[in-house]
Amino acid sequence: MFTSWVCISIMLFITIISIHLKPTKNDQMHQMMYMMMISMTTGLTIGVLITLSNHQQFFNSLLISMGLSAFIGLCIGFRLHFLALLEGIFTGMMAGMMGSMIVVMISISEAHALLLICLLLLTCSAIFCSTMFLSQRFPKLLSSFFPVIIISSLLLIVTVFYSFTHFETTVFSNYDQNPHKFLKS
């Protein structure tokens, strides 16, 4: 789980820096789409991770994931327009709830695979935000070093995949594969 939290922290840091340094000359619809993408991937990842780490107490993990996702939507949308801020808060809450509910409905090994998919989606959205920042702030830099940026982005995705599969597989091998067994009385 530590690798997942490190990945989420790094990707959120990249996204927050990219959003706060990006010039705000886009219209409200573009800003709301950025917020929907960022809040949805972040909230889904946090909901899956918190419920996966605290599988026995669903309601508490649901509330924590909803609150944390709404707070992240607030922090990222604070620089943008008010409608984008509201979009970030409510989309983050909804995505945190969806991530928690999905984990409860599937087995632990499937939730582990879903967490990897969510981390890769979060990595791709952070790469997209940083690329948008570079294209608006430094257009000649992006056009000059585009192959380097693409290769470094692919290396970042491969690093997330390798670190997650290499360091996290031993943790989940100890869990019961069917958490939905009913106790007979």
4-29: pLDDT as tens digits = 777 778 877 877 787 777 666 667 78
Residue 10 inside a domain? The answer is: no
Which position has the token pair 């918190």?
Answer: 50
Question: What is the SS3 assignment for 22?
Answer: coil
Residue 6 inside a domain? The answer is: no
> In angstroms, rounded to a whole number, what is the distance separating the alpha carbons of residues 44 and 50?
10
Domain range for 72 is: 23-172
Residue 8 inside a domain? The answer is: no
Residue 131 inside a domain? The answer is: yes
Report residue 56: phi and psi, to 5°: -80, -25
> In angstroms, rounded to a whole number, what is the distance separating the alpha carbons of residues 9 and 40?
16
- Average of pLDDT values for 51-66? 90
Residue 127 inside a domain? The answer is: yes
Domain count, the chain: 1
Q: CA dist 33 to 6, 38, 139, Å?
A: 26, 9, 22
Q: What is the pLDDT of residues 59-103, one digit of tens each?
A: 999 999 999 999 988 888 887 778 888 988 999 999 999 999 999
Is residue 178's pLDDT more than 70? Answer: no
Residue 9 inside a domain? The answer is: no
